[in-house]
């Protein structure tokens, strides 16, 4: 199977800087396709970042993205009476994503908060993430702790096992330490805990006989 991926570098639409602030706006385009048009994915990204520093360094960013997908399902069924003839379902979908992030550095601490929303035909997600890190030992040691919560919905669509929208919730907790040992050596240790509740099945999976 052959595929092609085309990525255009981020194009700076706006870049403005002053003594106490900086802002930038960038656009990026990406295209991916496979043989015989089995799958085509077209992506557009728009990134905006604004940073300023009066009581420490603070930055806020916003990413908007649209992914458009067209093609055929990766699996199919036999045509009636002909086991050598496979039938595939044509699919089209569009995903819209928005991610807002704010980060603040003060003394040896870095605090960050992120909210993400995405929507596609069969799935909707809302997630929040918080993280704090502190540097020690002349910035050679960094300790980080974070928590993420996702509140998702598996949406009812035709040709699936879902006849009504189903909730799916996720909790992720992590703590880690990073230590610079030498110019070429970095030690990382991370511990994480995750839990999923709600609908955990695959609405597209069916058993055929």
Q: Is residue 141 part of a domain?
A: yes
Q: Look up the pTM and report it.
A: 0.80
β-bridge partners, 65: 45, 97
| Contact of 201 with 168, CB cutoff 8 Å | no
Q: Quick one: pLDDT band at residue 119, thresholds 50, 70, 90?
A: very high
pLDDT given at position 21:
75
Give residue-wise pLDDT tens across range 31-77. 888 776 678 899 999 999 999 887 668 999 999 999 998 887 666 66
Tens-place pLDDT, residues 94-118: 999 999 999 999 889 999 999 999 9
One domain, residues 126 and 185: yes
Tell me: the pLDDT tens digits for 178-206?
999 998 999 999 999 999 999 888 776 65
- From 93, 124, 153, the end of a domain falls on 93
Res 36: pLDDT: 66
pLDDT of residue 17: 62
pLDDT confidence of residue 22 = 86
* 75 within domain boundaries: yes
Q: What is the spatial distance between Cα 83 and Cα 206, in angstroms, rounded to a whole number?
A: 19
Residue whose C-alpha is closest to residue 14's, from 6, 24, 4: 24
Query: 18 in a domain, yes or no?
Result: yes
Question: Is residue 101 a part of any domain in this protein?
Answer: no
Q: What pLDDT does 60 receive?
A: 96
pLDDT of residue 209 exceeding 50: no
Strands 141-154 and 123-136: antiparallel
| pLDDT for residue 149 is more than 90 | yes
Domain count, the chain: 2
- Quick one: 64 and 18 in the same domain? yes
163 and 119 within one domain: yes
What pLDDT score was predicted for residue 135? 94
Do 128 and 159 belong to one domain? yes
- pLDDT, tens digit, for every residue of 13-29? 666 666 567 889 999 99
């Amino acid at each position: 199977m052959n595929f092609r991926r085309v990525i255009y570098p981020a194009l700076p639409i706006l870049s403005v800087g002053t003594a106490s602030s900086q802002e930038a706006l960038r656009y990026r385009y990406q295209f991916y396709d496979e043989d015989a048009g089995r799958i085509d994915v077209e992506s557009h990204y728009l990134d905006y970042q604004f940073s300023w520093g009066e009581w420490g360094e603070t930055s806020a960013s916003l990413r908007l993205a649209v992914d458009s997908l067209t093609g055929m399902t990766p699996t199919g069924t036999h045509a009636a009476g002909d086991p050598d003839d496979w039938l595939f379902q044509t699919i089209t979908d569009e995903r819209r994503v928005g991610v807002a992030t704010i980060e603040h550095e003060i003394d040896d601490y870095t605090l960050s908060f992120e909210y993400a929303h995405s929507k596609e035909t069969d799935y909707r997600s809302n997630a929040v993430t918080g993280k704090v890190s502190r540097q020690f030992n002349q910035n050679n040691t960094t300790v980080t702790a974070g928590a993420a919560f996702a509140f998702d919905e598996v949406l009812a669509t035709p040709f699936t096992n879902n006849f009504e929208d189903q909730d799916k919730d996720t909790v992720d907790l992590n703590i880690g330490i990073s230590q610079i040992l030498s110019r070429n050596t970095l030690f990382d240790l991370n511990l994480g805990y995750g839990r999923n509740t709600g609908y955990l099945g695959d609405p597209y999976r069916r058993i055929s006989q």
